[in-house]
Amino acid sequence: MQPHHIINQATHKIPMTPNSLAFLVESAVAANSLLRGRAAHALTIKTLISPFPSFISNFLVHMYSKLDSLTSAYRLLSLTPPQNRNVVTWTSLISGAVQNGHFALALFHFSQMRRDSVHPNDFTFPCAFKASASLASVSGGKQLHGLALKVGEVRDVFVGCSVFDMYCKTGFREDALKMFDDMPHRNVATWNAYLSNAVLAGHQATALAGFIQFLREGYDPNSITFCAFLNACSDMLWIQPGRQLHSIVIKSGCENEIPVCNGLIDFYGKCKDITSSELIFSGMDDRNDVSWCSMVAAYVQNEKEEMACQVFLQARAVGIQPSDYLISIAANACAGLTGLELGRSVHGLAVKACVEENLFVGSAFVDMYGKCGSIEESEKAFRELPQKNLITWNAMIGGYAHQGLAKMALSLFSEMTVSVQKVAPNYVTLVCVLSACSRGGMVKVGMDIFNSMKRSFGIEPGVEHYACVVDMLGRAGLVEQAYDFIRKMSICPSISVWGALLGSCRVYGKPELGKVAAEKLFQLDPKDSGNHVLLSNMLAAAGRWEEADVVRKEMKDVGIKKGVGCSWITIKNEVHVFQAKDNKHKRNSQIQAMLDELRRKMKAAGYVADTKFALYDLEEEEKVSEVWFHSEKIALAFGLIVVPPGIPIRITKNLRICGDCHSAIKFISGILGREVIVRDNNRFHCFKDYKCSCNDYW
């Protein structure tokens, strides 16, 4: 029904008194309908004799201001006789300007009000202070503060709170704290501002102390208080204070409020207690967009990307609109899962929702395509972004690094630092660049960049940079040099540093030095099964079976369980996971038949299995069978069955691909003329025509 029809119906039922006209104007505000508001204004002109009563003018100015028609509001105010222009009228205009983001205009109208000899009240000042804070205009804020002191309004609790908030948001923390201490009265809103601004400024400990004082003074927290303190706990990963707060939430009866539930989902997710996040989410009677986004983000933060994708699809099924945040989180989930097809669907959804050019969404797609092994689509997403920030550049350089495209990564790094934008690299950028040099075998270039980090970019090398250098030297076979580099480090070597050395010792057969690295790792992280397994495998590969058995026995004695190695492949948004010697898949008979066929073809073509990757002391024939049923080969057999010719087969493995599987897949790609892309826990391998993109340097 059209607004004028509604107005016409209303005029037949309601006598056209000033009060009924005011009701019609307010109904337009409630319906957020400017057209209905104009119809009510027209009816007012038709019914009442000018000038209107002052309260009618106030209602009309309020209506136009709220509905973001400030020109009409100001014109109406200008036509109102001076005796009818009071503080309520001006405050309506100023408030509407602030609520619709016209902060400079709000301060202009405040100045006009002062010229009109109208004194601001306790409603006008908070609006003006908010405008000053939003514009980061501390000089204007101080002038307003002086005026509030002069007219005696600063002692009002809401005015004082807005002064405090203004000083916080403009960076004048000392003035803010002085204002807070001098306030004669405080309410919950004042404390909420105190806690929220402390968290935003990175003073989480101050927020914690403030919340405790807030409780001691007998105040009752509301949902805003809870959310502010939960943000502090999330930022600092304070699991115990957050759980204590959760109990207070339950006691206060706020456990069903949507903003609080959203904050709890986010808090538990960041603190790695995903079970609690799930319980809160599943127990919510009502959910909003933020609820779904928080749950998807919690799964991504806890490396449960498959669950994140499922929740994202559920959100879409119940009608949640694709916001920029939801899209970017979903893209991150697809990146972690290497779900290229689902990622492409999410990208299409972003285009449909017109958010694909959002800086954070675009950067997420650059990262997603890079981590899914489609570097061409990553480049396309990167080049099509109208604006780029440091995250975007890092994502593209990181994509090249994952692919081992060191020259491309270095070229983009040069473009980034010397282009017109001259984006300054950060800590993460240098990690990506050094990682690219490591995977591309560019030792000299990588060492030059590492040695010039502080001088050229003002970035102090951190443990990740040192780990990249150790990995770079180790990959190049300079294992002893890598060990010397560790001993000369200016910071304490971390797990990643010793892990890089142990991996190099495994590849280049340096068991003695590998045992040194392993011992260091056992001291730093005694419960990590991966380090024990790597040492055991290294000793087994060197034929030192007794020592390998000792390492395995030690693992059992101290209760360390070996992490399960697996490979997976995604077909039509369904993930198929395989382990070594796996025979549980519903199409197992076809998979085994494909493996037998591949084995026959490869043997006829002269392929010989590399049995040193059989990590048990077996007969030679048994070793050949052992390496043939590794998880990546089973996943490849399944891929050959279900993926049509001409389409790349994409496999993901949670461990580093073994040498025999690497050689076998190269051979299979040539025999069958298929392109196979494998992402292991270290990099991408693109197999085609008997070759791998890593050039056997991995």
**Cα radius of gyration (the chain):** 33
Q: How confident is the model at residue 655 (pLDDT cuts 50, 70, 90)?
A: confident
Whether residue 339 contacts residue 569, with contact meaning beta carbons closer than 8 Å, is answered with: no
What is the average pLDDT across 339-351? 94
pTM as predicted: 0.83
Q: Which residue has the tokens 């109904």?
A: 27
Q: How many other C-beta atoms can be found within 10 angstroms of the C-beta atom of residue 196?
A: 20
Question: How far apart are alpha carbons 483 and 362 in whole angstroms?
Answer: 41
Q: Considering the chain, what percentage of its residues have pLDDT values greater than 90?
A: 70
pLDDT of residue 421: 65
Whether residue 683 contacts residue 405, with contact meaning beta carbons closer than 8 Å, is answered with: no
Q: Give me the count of residues in the chain.
A: 698
Q: How confident is the model at residue 54 (pLDDT cuts 50, 70, 90)?
A: confident
pLDDT for 235 beyond 90: yes
Question: How far apart are alpha carbons 50 and 67 in whole angstroms?
Answer: 24
Ramachandran angles phi, psi of 510, nearest 5°: -115, 70
pLDDT of residue 615: 47
Residue 419 one-letter amino acid: S
Ramachandran angles phi, psi of 578, nearest 5°: -130, 145
Whether residue 90 contacts residue 118, with contact meaning beta carbons closer than 8 Å, is answered with: yes
Ramachandran angles phi, psi of 686, nearest 5°: -110, 110
Query: pLDDT tens digit string along 406-448?
Result: 999 999 999 998 866 688 999 999 999 999 999 999 999 999 9
pLDDT of residue 623: 46
pLDDT of residue 698: 65
CATH number for the domain formed by residue range(s) 462-563 = 1.25.40.10
Query: pLDDT tens digit string along 350-359?
Result: 999 999 999 9
Q: Which residue has the tokens 């804020």?
A: 141
| CA-wise closest residue to 624 among 604, 607, 637, 638 | 607
pLDDT for 622 beyond 70: no
Query: pLDDT tens digit string along 464-477?
Result: 999 999 999 999 99
| CA-wise closest residue to 198 among 210, 183, 190, 189 | 210
Helices (H) and strands (E) in the chain, counts: 37, 6
Stretch among 20-24, 96-100, 169-173, 584-588 having the lowest mean pLDDT: 20-24
Average pLDDT, the chain: 90
Query: pLDDT tens digit string along 563-606?
Result: 678 999 988 878 899 998 889 999 999 999 999 999 999 888 88
Query: In the chain, what are the domain boundaries?
Result: 462-563, 566-692
**Distant-in-sequence contacts of 32-36, Cβ < 8 A, 24+ apart:** 32/67, 33/3, 33/67, 34/67, 34/68, 34/69, 35/3, 36/3, 36/6, 36/7
Question: How far apart are alpha carbons 153 and 156 in whole angstroms?
Answer: 6
Residue 329 one-letter amino acid: I
